[in-house]
Amino acid sequence: MAAALGTAITPAEAAAPFAPRGNNRRPRHLVAASRSQAAPAWRFVLRACASPIATADAPDETVTEPSVEPALETKLSKLACPICYCPLVGASDQSGDTSSLECSSCKKVYPNKQDYWDLTVAVGSTEYSESMPAITELFRTPLVSFLYERGWRQNFRWGGFPGLEREFETAIAYLKPTIGGTIVDASCGSGLFSRLFVKSGLYSLVVALDFSENMLKQCNEYLRQESISDERLALVRADISRLPFMNGSIDAVYAGAAIHCWPSPACAVAEISRVLRPGGVLVASTFVADVIPPAIPLLRIGRPYISQITGYNTFLSEVEFEDLCKACGLVDFKFVRNGSYIMFSATKAN
């Protein structure tokens, strides 16, 4: 890493604001694009963090906004069967809406759930079921989905998360090489960052992806409340360890405050590496439990049991993320730190 830990980001380094751009009767989560409407009066006012953020190779935050207009066919072409990774073909109902997607190879059908596409492996099963880790099931509940942006996510500030604006700025700076392409907001929750990516107008397509049905429904509700156009947005239910995209088809993946909740971070990062194109970028934020050094040995001993019981993954240094990314074919690892908060990026090797 080029820079030493402890380097502070100055106010001058908090880059310039972004301006955005911008239904037909297709489902909200997958609609044909029309020409962009006049850009709304929306922008971010960038602020420096109140406390210094430790950084290694902090990103260049100057972003040029492209002109992007995806078509429905482009959206469909990005989706694939999570079983065999072959392309999906849309099937229309009598009204002309796309009611389901069918794998071009194994012929499995994936339904339109009105709020989202269900592209999980076991969708359609009538007898089979499997248990998920406790933390995964927690985020599938209607209550947590409702509370996520009504206090739950805001409490992350206690762990050093610098706030929505600063997180988004840093993410966009790391994602700069992928501007204009397709970005997947992995474990999007209620769509907090998915909506920001759409409003920024920086991507031709934003895929809001989560395993929680209720989180995706809540995301759709926020889209209606905020009158956000979904012409560049697809809502997809999927397993982070079995992503419904073809190899090398995605430009960027963002995973905000998510990796600590994944059943297997190694399998998930390997899947992300598979779907990223060469030069594609992963950006993720999470917690690192190294703020009390004397507790690290105990956490190292106890974290396997914490993970087995709750499904929560405990990380003890940024080196662990770098090692994981490298093992999965992701290079050029960079990160920023503030307390237990970390945001890092890594690039798919060419």
pLDDT in tens, 293-341: 989 999 999 999 999 999 999 999 999 999 999 999 999 999 999 999 9
* Higher-pLDDT residue of 67, 88: 88
Using an 8 Å Cβ cutoff, are 70 and 26 in contact?
Answer: no
Q: Is the dihedral of CA 321, 274, 178, 347 positive or negative?
A: positive
Percent of residues, the chain, with pLDDT higher than 70? 77
Q: How many CB atoms lie within 10 A of CB 293?
A: 7
Q: Is the pLDDT of residue 210 over 50?
A: yes
Least confident piece of the model among 62-71, 107-116, 335-344: 62-71
Domain annotation covers residue 65: no
Angle between helices 213-225 and 192-200 (to 10 degrees): 40
Q: Per-residue pLDDT averaged across 221-246, rounded? A: 94
Domain annotation covers residue 35: no
What does the pLDDT read at residue 325?
Answer: 98
List Cβ<8 Å contacts ≥24 apart for 81-90.
Answer: 81/105, 81/106, 81/108, 81/110, 81/119, 81/244, 82/119, 82/120, 82/121, 82/238, 82/239, 82/242, 82/243, 82/244, 83/108, 83/121, 85/245, 85/246, 85/247, 86/246, 87/246, 88/244
CB-hemisphere CA count at 13 Å for 183? 32
DSSP state of 123: T
Domain annotation covers residue 139: yes
What does the pLDDT read at residue 345?
Answer: 98
Using an 8 Å Cβ cutoff, are 45 and 11 in contact?
Answer: no
What does the pLDDT read at residue 17?
Answer: 35
Domain annotation covers residue 111: no
pLDDT tens across 178-196, in order? 999 999 999 999 999 999 9
How many structural domains comprise the chain? 1
Domain annotation covers residue 26: no
**CA-based nearest residue to 232, from 200, 206, 210, 194:** 206
For the record, the structure tokens of 255 come out as 């995973």
What does the pLDDT read at residue 230?
Answer: 83
Q: Is the pLDDT of residue 120 over 80?
A: yes
Q: Is the pLDDT of residue 287 over 60?
A: yes
Do the strands 250-255 and 117-118 form a parallel or antiparallel pair, or are they unpaired?
Answer: unpaired
Phi, psi torsion values for 221, nearest 5 degrees: -65, -40
Domain annotation covers residue 337: yes
Q: List the alpha helices (DSSP H) in 43-100.
A: 72-78
**Distance (Å, rounded) from C-alpha 257 to C-alpha 186?**
10
Question: What's the domain range around 316?
Answer: 126-348
For the record, the structure tokens of 74 come out as 């482009």
pLDDT band (50, 70, 90) for residue 76: confident
Q: What's the chain's average pLDDT?
A: 83
pLDDT band (50, 70, 90) for residue 28: very low
CATH number of the domain within which 181 lies = 3.40.50.150
DSSP state of 125: -
Q: Is the pLDDT of residue 177 over 60?
A: yes
Backbone dihedral region for residue 6 (phi beyond 0: left; psi -120 to 50: alpha; all else: beta): left
**Of the ranges 57-61, 150-154, 327-331, which is most confident?**
327-331
Question: Who contacts 195 (Cβ-Cβ below 8 Å, separation ≥6)?
Answer: 219, 222, 223, 226, 228
Domain annotation covers residue 257: yes
Using an 8 Å Cβ cutoff, are 91 and 112 in contact?
Answer: no
Domain annotation covers residue 78: no
Do the strands 109-111 and 98-103 form a parallel or antiparallel pair, or are they unpaired?
Answer: antiparallel
